[in-house]
Amino acid sequence: MPVGFTFIFSLVQAFTEFLPVSSSGHLLFLKGLLKREDIPLFFDIVVHAGSLTAILFYYVKPIADTLKNAWIERRNRAGEKPHIRLVFHLVLSTAVTAMIYAIAKTPIETSFETPSVLPVTFAITSAILFLTARTEKKADRPIFNLPIWIPLIVGLFQGLAILPGVSRSGSTIASLLYFRIRRTEAAMYSFFLAIPAILGALVVKIAEAGNTAFFIQNRGILAVSFVVSSIFSYFALRLLVLVLKKGRFWVFGFYTLAMALAAWMCFGPK
């Protein structure tokens, strides 16, 4: 793989992974624009794994506290068990997403080679974001002890966000804001949810024929891309949390709408 292109793609992935603008959509846009279809989906997943390290670093204490408290609650038979319930909800959301991927695996993966889907998928992200404008300021509901159907809906939104151009963070956070979940807690749930999603995609792709050889041949470039993605993703994550605290999440919808228009001009019907 060309070093220059992969470095650029790593930076784009890092800056767009946590902002609600779809990193996979931006990578596909660049691949189509620069005619670099030779860079496989496996590369995308490696740089997503770099972003995963940013999540683990940023949320290390909340993750540790959640697991510790869930363990304590498991040993105590009496009383409320909010942390166990939170972990259970994360499992539910992940299971729904995995089911969607299993059912629609072929068309989903084909979409990652088809830049012409981007006008529609970026527009979907814009609609999802704009719909938070009326609920974001009223978000005051805690993430713990939600009714079971809310994590199921979040899983559906994350399943939709497998498509390039539909933002995973944007969709999952927005789906929680619709139900007036506190903004920072919605972000925390979304990024906790990203951990099994990214790890699962990485394991599946490494196991597939051809990807092991690609990994060995390009391990140096992939390692650099992973590190670049990790570092810059951390700063993008901090920026998103800051934006959420100010209650301006929906503003990103204007950017994704502009991306939908740019994608239509570049890859739409001629």
Collect all residues with Cβ–Cβ distance below 8 Å to 58 and sequence separation of at least 6. Answer: 191, 234, 237, 238
Contact 158, 193 (CB under 8 A): yes
Per-residue pLDDT, 125: 97
Which domain range does residue 31 map to?
A: 3-267
Provide block-wise average pLDDT over 10 residues at a time, the chain (270 residues): 70 84 90 75 76 90 92 80 92 95 89 91 97 82 89 96 94 94 92 87 65 66 82 88 84 96 89
The total of other beta-carbon atoms located within 10 Å of residue 247's CB is: 16
Tell which residue, 167, 164, 169, has the closest CA to residue 118: 164
Three-state SS for 181? strand
Quote the number of domains for the chain: 1
| 3-state class percentages of the chain: helix first, strand second, coil last, to nearest 5 | 75, 0, 20
Q: In Å, what is the CA distance from 165 to each residue of 24, 69, 114, 170, 259?
A: 6, 36, 11, 11, 9
Per-residue pLDDT, 185: 92
CA 200, CA 203: separation in Å to the nearest integer?
5
Per-residue pLDDT, 200: 80
pTM above 0.85, yes or no: yes
